[in-house]
Homo-oligomer: A and B are copies of this chain.
Amino acid sequence: MISQTAEYALRAVVHLAMHAEKPQTTRDIARATHVPVPYLSKVLQSLGRAGLITSQRGLHGGSALVKSPADLTIFEVVDAVDPLLRIRKCPLGLESHGSNLCPLHRRLDDAMATVEKSFQSSTVLELISEPGPSRPLCAVRCADEVLSGSFVTVSDIASGVGVAV
């Protein structure tokens, strides 16, 4: 339903949102997201092509989000790597149907429209700030963040201010 690629892209974006203090290397992201490096590299390329992240090579290089997590939706991330395919016209090519979808294809497209709408109204900031027992990508609370003191608060992220490590 939601492709593996889209889910991996969301993991990567969530990691970048949670580590806005500095660019993250592909290896950093892979370790946190449990995504194989070659697969992740392709996902990051797609996110870059869509203008959602910037990536720089070199010693202090890495990837970072272009937008604030408060302005970035799940929909934009999914759309960048594996778009939800809406049904715009009869998949059988029946000319008399055209864009007047029959009840079968109307139902299927309605389902996709519902998902699209839900993803358009969910921001990455919501994903990383909602209270609850589980935080994305983190075992209870990200142990390495707590240990290094690099934990970035939600208000830091919303205001685009990173916390120095």
Contacts and interface: CB of A to CB of B under 8 A. Distances in A.
Given A1-B1, A96-B139, A114 B118 contact: yes
A102 B2 contact: no
A156 interface: no
The winner among A104, A105, A108, A139 for most chain B CB atoms within 10 A is: A104
A101 B119 CA distance: 17
A33 interface: yes
Interface string A73-97: 0100000000011000011111111
B11 A134 contact: no
A115 B85 CA distance: 15
A137 interface: yes
A115 B119 CA distance: 13
B107 A74 contact: yes
Contact of A2 (B11, B112, B133): B112
Given A114-B115, A139-B94, A2 B108 contact: yes
Interface residues on A, range: 35 or more
A112 B115 CA distance: 8
Nearest to A115: B111
Interface stretch (A22-30, A45-53, A124-132): A124-132
A103 interface: yes
Contacts of A114: 111, 114-115, 118
A134 to B, nearest CB: 4
Interface of A: 1-2, 7, 10-11, 14, 33-34, 74, 84-85, 90-97, 100-105, 107-108, 110-112, 114-115, 118-119, 122, 126-128, 130, 132-140
